[in-house]
Amino acid sequence: MKAVSCSSNRRKQIKRVARVHEKIANTRQDFLHKLSRKLVDENQVIVVEDLCVKGMARTKMAKSVLDAGFGMLVNFLDYKLKREGGKLVEVDRFFPSTKLCNCCKHKNDSLTLKELEWTCPKCGTHHDRDENAARKCDSFSQNREIGGRLAVSSNQ
């Protein structure tokens, strides 16, 4: 079999594209290092949700999920917090943080992903879905019991 030869212009373009990809990767890594340093400097405990990045990469949001570098950010946070004596708490991906009322801990199973706001049928509190999840994660960071579960730290 003959080796496929390519022109010198093609080789130049391959090198040019490789340099662009390297620059993008270095820029992303630099941003994530700076962001993780800022977060670690401002907080002793950071709570992240254990997302299934591989599963999310198979959806319509694949490109934006992979470009964001969630996994890399969590790794940076983990080793920087260990070095500083902080704590990284990972919330289980199956924990229903958006479906639990942060006031009465009632679980609203009827919520769909399209519903961004909901009212608790038990206590009547109106919730923004993301804000409610953030309050649940804050409860994890303060190591309080939430709906029968306790926060689990990845570095003890």
- In tens, the pLDDT along 36-48 reads 999 999 988 888 8
What pLDDT does 109 receive?
Answer: 79
What pLDDT does 50 receive?
Answer: 75
On the CB side of 124, CA atoms within 13 Å amount to: 0
Backbone angles phi, psi at 8, to 5 degrees: -65, -30
What pLDDT does 23 receive?
Answer: 96
Find the range with the poorest average confidence among 13-22, 103-112, 128-137, 147-156. Answer: 147-156
Q: What are the Cα distances from residue 59, in Å, to 7, 66, 89, 130, 141?
A: 38, 11, 26, 20, 30
* Alpha-helical regions (H) of 43-153: 53-56, 62-68, 70-84, 129-141
Q: What are the Cα distances from residue 151, in Å, to 55, 87, 91, 147?
A: 24, 11, 7, 11
Alpha-carbon gap, residue 148 to 100, rounded angstroms: 12
> How crowded is residue 93: how many other Cβ atoms within 10 Å of its Cβ?
11
Q: Is the pLDDT of residue 146 over 60?
A: no
Q: Is the pLDDT of residue 2 over 90?
A: no
Find the range with the poorest average confidence among 4-8, 100-104, 149-153. Answer: 149-153
- Does this model's pTM top 0.75? no
Alpha-carbon gap, residue 152 to 84, rounded angstroms: 19
